[in-house]
Structure 1
Amino acid sequence: MVDFFIGVCELSKSFIFAAAKKIKMAKKNQKKAPEVEYELLEKPEEIAGRLERGEAFVKKNSKIFGGILVAGILLIAAVLYFQIDKQNKDKKAQAEMFQAVYYFEQDSTDYALNGDGSNAGFLKIVDQYSGTNSANLAHFYIGSIYLSEGNHQKAVDHLKKFSAGDYFVQARAFALLGDAYMELGNTKEAISNYKKAVDHKENKHFAPRYLSKLAIAYEEAGELDNAIKTWGTIEDKYFESFEFTNARKHKARLEGLASK
């Protein structure tokens, strides 16, 4: 029993000794860190030397720094000027575009495109006010007019330059591009643009119409399975649409052809 007690005491002593040794080493390390950290502060001549070298470097490269500063100022000024100039141009373009839009709505397409002698048409607006929101919208109108007149390649050229945040108008532009490509016999691009029209923030009122165009394009390209699937989408999802009856009819017809 005595031996056991002595053994426990010896073991406890060794644990206590080891713990004390670790604490002593930790304190020793903690003392060294501040010495390293504040070593530079204890040498003011070193700080002064570094400041002098930094000042000399700036003086030596003052022209470079000055050039960078001037270039930055000029860049900011150019960006501001461009934005203000673009806004001013856009206001003028909107004012001139008013009459052209009126002619477009009245089906006076020649005046809408070329102007009436007093007011600018869409073609002049896209040329004179390039890069503005009004010129962007004018491309949509021009493409629509050319498509209605049978100038399909010109319609493609202008509609491809148009982009809009309004998803109704953008989807319509994709569909018109699809129509133009179909007329040009390019079913691959027609399919691509009809799919964009369908997928661009899908709308229950317009999607069935675009799906119908897509199905016709698939059939024209000989892709009967995709055409059947597309008509089926109208049948399943848009049963209240005007296109529903035609979808059922054409789906049944194509299924008959596919089974032969």
Structure 2
Amino acid sequence: MATYKKRGYKPKTQKEKEEVVEEASTTAEVFNTLDEGASKTEEWVVKNQNYIIGVIGAIAVIVLGYLGYEKFVAEPNQKEAMNEMYTAKKYFDDAASGISSDSLYRMAIEGGEGKFGMTDIASEYSGTPAGNLANYYAGMAYLNLKDYQQAIEYLDAFSSDDKMLGPIAKGGIGDAFVQLDQLDKGLEYYEKAFKANTNDFTTPLYLLKAARVALDLGENQKALDYLKRIESEFSESTEAGQVEVLIGKAEASL
């Protein structure tokens, strides 16, 4: 057990003298070890300083490059893409309102008045939020033009956590597959659509579409489960008024 010794204490017995010598020796050994470690560290730093400087320089280049890209490339690209999208988006909105819809959907896709269409924006500004959104508009425009393969391609390229656009894009892919008579794929995407987000608009809409396709595929229990969910969770929705007859049909088929 170590004992506390006051400053200036002088050993009196032989045993105490030996303890002092031993403590001094241990302390010296510790400092020698620290000195040797520091010396080796200094030697390693000197020997590898070019490597260290290179690593630090590379990290600095990456950080500065990222900041520079965000400031001087990504932000201007996004702003430019949104400016380009304005005209194409107007064509799309007018078409959705029923004004010369086919020709306007086509102009939304291909462009007009010297401005890019949605497919050009998706290609030229890929990697930007505007480029991603252009995939959605192009896909929905193709869907309305009954070009289902192109609709699937562009809607599949679109990704979003938005509680409305995400499910609608998945549902649009489901619609396209159903029109192509690929009912199993249509059902798969309707299920993805209502699972993407739970809300009073898209959830009952795609539950009903999934139930109808499930009935056509003979998956009657699945159809019944989806219809019952509409009935219990979305009783105020438009779709709820359509489920009674379908529930009877599903139950009769079980």
Under a length normalisation based on structure 2, what TM-score does the superposition of the two structures give? 0.82
Alignment of 1:8-23 (within 5 A): none
Using CA pairs under 8 Å that are at least 6 residues apart, name the structure with larger relative contact order, 1 or 2.
Answer: 2
Q: Aligned match of 2:241 in 238, 245, 254?
A: 245
The whole-number CA distance in structure 2 between the counterparts of 1:41 and 1:153 is 81
Q: Deviations over 1:220-243 (max 9, x none)?
A: 222112112212222222222222
Alignment of 1:125-140 (within 5 A): 125-140=121-136
The whole-number CA distance in structure 2 between the counterparts of 1:232 and 1:217 is 15
In 2, are the aligned partners of 1:139 and 1:158 still within 8 Å (CA)? Answer: yes
Under a length normalisation based on structure 1, what TM-score does the superposition of the two structures give? 0.80
The whole-number CA distance in structure 1 between the counterparts of 2:178 and 2:221 is 19
Alignment partner of 1:233 is 2:229 = yes
Q: CA deviation at 1:164?
A: 1.7
Where in structure 2 are there 5+ consecutive unaligned residues? 6-18, 96-103
Identity among equivalent pairs (%): 27
The equivalent residue for 1:220 is 216
In 2, are the aligned partners of 1:40 and 1:47 still within 8 Å (CA)? Answer: no
Q: CA deviation at 1:59?
A: 1.0
Q: Which has the larger radius of gyration?
A: 1
Q: Deviations over 1:21-66 (max 9, x none)?
A: xxxxxx359999xx88x94566544433332222111111111111
In 1, are the aligned partners of 2:197 and 2:203 still within 8 Å (CA)? Answer: no
In 2, are the aligned partners of 1:136 and 1:161 still within 8 Å (CA)? Answer: yes
| Distance change >3 Å, CA 219–CA 29, structure 1 → 2 | farther
The equivalent residue for 1:87 is 75
| Higher mean displacement: 139-148 or 77-86 | 77-86
The equivalent residue for 1:116 is 112
| Higher mean displacement: 180-189 or 114-123 | 180-189
Tell me the amino acid that sits aligned with residue 148 of structure 1. Answer: N
In 2, are the aligned partners of 1:125 and 1:135 still within 8 Å (CA)? Answer: yes
The whole-number CA distance in structure 1 between the counterparts of 2:127 and 2:227 is 40
2:181 alignment partner, SS class: coil
The equivalent residue for 1:101 is 89
Tell me the amino acid that sits aligned with residue 116 of structure 2. Answer: A
The equivalent residue for 2:37 is 50
| Distance change >3 Å, CA 248–CA 59, structure 1 → 2 | same
Tell me the amino acid that sits aligned with residue 93 of structure 1. Answer: A
Q: CA deviation at 1:140?
A: 0.4
| Distance change >3 Å, CA 254–CA 42, structure 1 → 2 | closer
CA RMSD after TM alignment: 2.4
In 2, are the aligned partners of 1:40 and 1:46 still within 8 Å (CA)? Answer: no
